[in-house]
Amino acid sequence: MTTYLIRSSAAKLRTLIGFLSLLVAISLSLTSVAQAGNKRTHVDKSKKVAVVQGKRIAVSGKTLKRRGTIQKVVVASKPSYGQLAGLHTGSDDLNLKSSVALIVDQETSEVLFSKNDKAILPIASLTKLMTGLVVSEANLPLDEMITVSQEDVDTERGSSSRLHVGSVLSRGELLHLALMSSENRAAHALARTYPGGMTVFTSLMNAKAKVLGMKDTRYVEPTGLSSSNQSSARDLVKLVNVAHGHPLLRELTTSHSYQLEVGKRTLQYNNTNRLVKNPSWDIGLQKTGYISEAGQCLVMQAKVAGRKLIMVFLDSAGKLSRIGDAERVRQWVESATGVAEGAPN
């Protein structure tokens, strides 16, 4: 009887040990799978990208429950209007990465190069060039203080800003930030506080476009966050030409950087166009822009090989490729006129 009890207890103990070992094995297996998954996919919520097997991919921010696990939905970046229209499928002699380009001699109006220049596309923050033109021509006091309000916060795309609600800046400071650093709250505050408010300001933007003969252009707001702000390269050449005639706009758009005191904070801003700091470029006016529907955009007035040129690049594939396109055009013009690259113009 005693022997039987000992054998029975030993059997129960072996069974218990076996069960516990099974639990430990399952736990280790689940941990290993989770760690492997974490190595393959990491989501950076602040930048809305995922790192999948070493590659950074845009993510939708949504989750999907599949086979008992929660997985991040990984999606490609939203295609631009130009991509949807098939404008990127064609090639050109300069191998530009922008689907739309137009290079015009400012003094003679001669078209040196064109590519899909009639296409009407979203123009993103190129919009702010018209915003600056309307403000500049109104001759409003640049030292008038304006408070950034909740109305100036971007509800279109949820973009961030270092200009907190309640920040107080002069109209001149807001204009500087809007044109140099493409500050959305600055541009919105300029329009909101314009005599008559936002509705009047937007109407003036469209009225000015009509006066300039910009038949393909439409504005619905002053920042460029809306994809409904649209234009063509031909129209933008006209805008750049007129804006270049304003010394204030030339100064602010080509400013390298700007530091200002906002409350107890010191804010440092830089130009969104790296070419303004490049000594081999002589840029008289410029503006960059980007939203997903518009792609990367750039307009400039620059002196190249002794010629004053207006350059328009829309729907470029990347932030650096619009700069690369400008460099390709400059080299092409210099080569055609026999001017060595980097030589004084």
pTM: 0.78
CA 171 to chain centre: 24
Instruction: Compute the distance between CA of residue 296 and CA of residue 62 in angstroms, rounded to an integer.
Output: 26
Q: Where are the domains of the chain?
A: 85-337
Per-residue confidence (pLDDT) for residue 210, from 0 to 100: 98
Tokens describing residue 91? 């090639």
Q: Is 128 noted as a catalytic residue in this protein?
A: yes
- Three-state DSSP at 111 gives strand
Catalytic residue among 80, 98, 99, 182: 182
CA torsion through residues 78, 80, 84, 89, sign: negative
Tokens describing residue 54? 């070493």
Q: Is 125 noted as a catalytic residue in this protein?
A: yes
Q: How far apart are the first and last CA of the chain?
A: 110
Catalytic residue among 125, 136, 227, 231: 125
Instruction: Compute the distance between CA of residue 235 and CA of residue 129 in angstroms, rounded to an integer.
Output: 13
Catalytic residue among 128, 208, 238, 287: 128
Instruction: Compute the distance between CA of residue 255 and CA of residue 181 in angstroms, rounded to an integer.
Output: 9
Per-residue confidence (pLDDT) for residue 294, from 0 to 100: 98
Q: Is 203 noted as a catalytic residue in this protein?
A: no
Instruction: Compute the distance between CA of residue 242 and CA of residue 217 in angstroms, rounded to an integer.
Output: 15
From the number of C-beta atoms within 10 Å of its C-beta (0-12, 13-18, 19+), residue 333 rates as buried
- Give CA separation, 245 vs 138, 227, 240, in Å: 15, 28, 9
Average pLDDT of each block of 10 consecutive residues along the chain (345 residues)?
Answer: 42 51 49 41 37 37 43 62 92 94 98 97 98 98 98 95 97 98 98 98 98 98 98 98 98 97 94 96 98 97 98 91 96 84 45
Residue whose structure tokens are 């941990």: 31
Supply the CATH classification number for the domain 85-337. 3.40.710.10
